[in-house]
Amino acid sequence: MANLFKGQKQFKVVTIEECLSCKLKMKRPFKINDYVYKEGEMCQKCGTKMIISAIYKEELKY
Amino acid sequence: MGISIFQFFPTDNSSIQQILSLIFYAIFFFYLFFGQQLQVQRILLSISGALNKIKDAQDRSRREIIDFLQKNDYKGDAISHINTLIEYFTISPVDLDPTGLVKKIEHILSVRDERIRGEVRSMLPEKDALTISILENLLEIAAALNVYYKVVRHYYLIGKKTSNLYLLMQLQMVLPDLLREVEALVSAIEPIKNAQPIGDGIGPMVAGRLLLNSEKKQIARDTIFGEVNYKNRVLYVIKAEGPAGNVGQPGNAIEYLISNYGLKPAAIIMIDAALKLEGEATGEVAEGAGAAIGGIGVDKYKIEEIASKNNIPLYAIIIKESIVEAITCMTKEIVEAIPKVLNRIDYLLENRTKEGDSVIVVGVGNSIGVGQ
């Protein structure tokens, strides 16, 4: 979508999944229906269910 | 042969001298008599450029709502429905006799909220709370942009009609700040549409972190709470119900816990995003005393009232961010403030309360994209 204001930066939104047992963190692009504290995927390290611990935007660098 | 500057301003009575003098006097008298009109035209031109930007922003917010409604299978006359809701106004109660003013404001705001929510529900009757709240938030953005556009246009047209330089100058002076706020509102459309957390959601995020793995109950409209055993104290953690875009009613929730639940808390700790001053770093955490909550003041009044009546210490932890950051998608700097806030809560619990005490912790802010 075109920017109305000059100098607006472009961002991508990322989702952080965190394992509460082994503290492993995984970063992936945001998907619709993601929300903070929703159950995520299985932890690749210890096999427990991860949670979405954060969703934030990151500046796109070209 | 060098060129002297005096060649351009000859001092003799040559024809060049006479022409230059004539031009000088023409410019001098033109500015003397028409300078103000010229300035008015210049300011009108710059305001009309800004007005077009605000109009584009207003149009875009309406388009986004129409797209959202179409995506959610709305079949009615979207434009007239949207116009009615965007133009919906609230009349503040009379303040000649301030006694009971907060109660009246609360009543009027509750009537407005119920009316808007009812209308939105009737537009999308089969949709969940999240979709309803997204539409409500998008309508709020469109209504705010509508007000910005109409007010700026009003002063622009009055200034143009009366050639009032001083009115136009005042408008021109506030325009950069107005445009920044308009830009922030436009940038808020995308995260709200996708139900992504916004900067203002840091309070509910901290509360949600404390509430992980505990049972949550509804305590007030769009507000939940849970009991958490933490550092040998019982925390009563309150937040707006997510992941829908709610701010909840923390004032009513605290009132209920103390008056109806019989709770005697040793402290109330409020966590909220706060506007930073230029030069301050985003995500900086500060601690203070008082009710950390924005809005019109109904919740703030209730919390202050109950805390002072029961002599409960009221602690505030704020996370600093700009107005743009507060209503657009959450940034990494704000997320990184969570451990710092949790450390401050630990410090307050260990130093200002005793083991076995009950403490109310409130995460204040919009819970869009933040569950519990």
Is the same domain home to B185 and B294? Answer: no
Decide if A56 and B330 are in contact by the 8 Å CB cutoff. yes
Q: Which residues of B touch A33 (CB under 8 A)?
A: 195
Specify whether B186 is located in the same domain as B227: no
Compute CA distances B118 → B58, B104, B136, B138, B183, whole Å: 24, 21, 10, 15, 29
Distance CA B181, CA B148 (A): 9
Of A43-47, A58-62, B30-34, B336-340, minimum mean pLDDT range = A58-62
- Is B95 inside any structural domain? yes
First to last CA, chain B: 84
Range(s) of the domain holding residue B89: 43-193
B residues 132-151 closer than 8 Å to A (CB): none
Instruction: Let me know whether B188 and B244 are in one domain.
Output: no
Please count the structural domains in chain B. 2
- Give yes or no for B187 touching A (CB within 8 A): yes
**Among B169, B193, B217, which residue terminates a domain?**
B193
Inter-chain touch A8–B205, beta carbons under 8 Å: no
Give the whole-angstrom CA distance, residue B141 versus residue B271. Answer: 25
Query: B202, B329, B341, B367: best mutation site toward chain A, by most A Cβ within 10 Å?
Result: B329
Domain for residue B100, yes or no?
yes
Q: Does some domain include residue B293?
A: yes
The domain that holds B340 is classified in CATH as 3.40.50.1470
Both B226 and B272 in a single domain? Answer: yes
CB contacts, 8 Å: B243 with chain A: 35-36, 38
Chain A residues with CB under 8 Å of B341 CB are: none
At position B338, the amino acid (one-letter code) is I
Residues 6 or more apart in contact with residue B312 via CB below 8 angstroms = B258, B265, B266, B267, B268, B306
Q: Is B291 inside any structural domain?
A: yes
Rg (CA), chain B: 28
Residues B91 and B179 in one domain: yes
B183–A8 CB contact, under 8 Å: yes
Residues 293-332 (B) with a CB less than 8 A from some CB of A: 328-332
Same structural domain, B109 and B219: no
Whether residues B174 and B235 share a domain: the answer is no
Which of B162, B193, B224 delimits the end of a domain? Answer: B193
Complex ipTM tops 0.95: no
Whether residue B294 is found in the same domain as residue B272 = yes
Spell out which residues of chain A touch residue B197, defining contact as CB-CB under 8 Å.
35-36, 55-56
Sequence-separated (6 or more) residues with CB below 8 Å from residue B239: B203, B204, B207, B208, B211, B223, B224, B225, B248, B362, B363, B367, B370, B372
* Total beta-carbon pairs less than 8 A apart between chain A and chain B: 74
Asked if B330's CB is within 8 angstroms of A54's CB, the reply is yes
B162 and B260 inside one domain: no
Q: Is A25 on the interface with B (CB under 8 A)?
A: no
Question: What DSSP letter does each residue of B24-86 carry, written as one string?
Answer: HHHHHHHHHHHHHHHHHHHHHHHHHHHHHHHHHHHHHHHHHHHHHHHHTT--S-HHHHHHHHH
Cβ separation B56–A4 shorter than 8 A: yes
Q: Is B75 within the bounds of a domain?
A: yes
Residues B211 and B359 in one domain: yes
In angstroms, the separation between the Cα of residue B99 and the nearest Cα of chain A is 42
Q: How far is CA B11 from CA B16, B18, B121, B310, in A?
A: 10, 10, 83, 88
User: In the prediction, which pLDDT does A2 show?
Assistant: 44
Which residue stretches of chain B have pLDDT < 50? none
Of B166, B193, B220, the domain-final residue = B193
In angstroms, the Cα distances linking B328 to B140, B152, B221 are: 14, 23, 25
Beta bridge partners of B270: B316, B362
- Residue A2 near chain B (CB below 8 Å): no
Question: Domain residue spans in chain A?
Answer: 11-43+51-59
pLDDT tens digits, B168-221: 999 999 999 999 999 999 999 999 999 999 999 999 999 999 999 899 999 999
* Residue B244 and residue B269 share a domain: yes
For B335, the closest of A8, A38, A56 (CB atoms) is A56
Task: Look at residue B8 and tell me if it is in a domain.
Answer: no
Assigned token pair, A52:
């979405």
Are B203 and B302 members of one domain?
yes
- Confidence category of residue A1, pLDDT binned at 50, 70, 90: very low
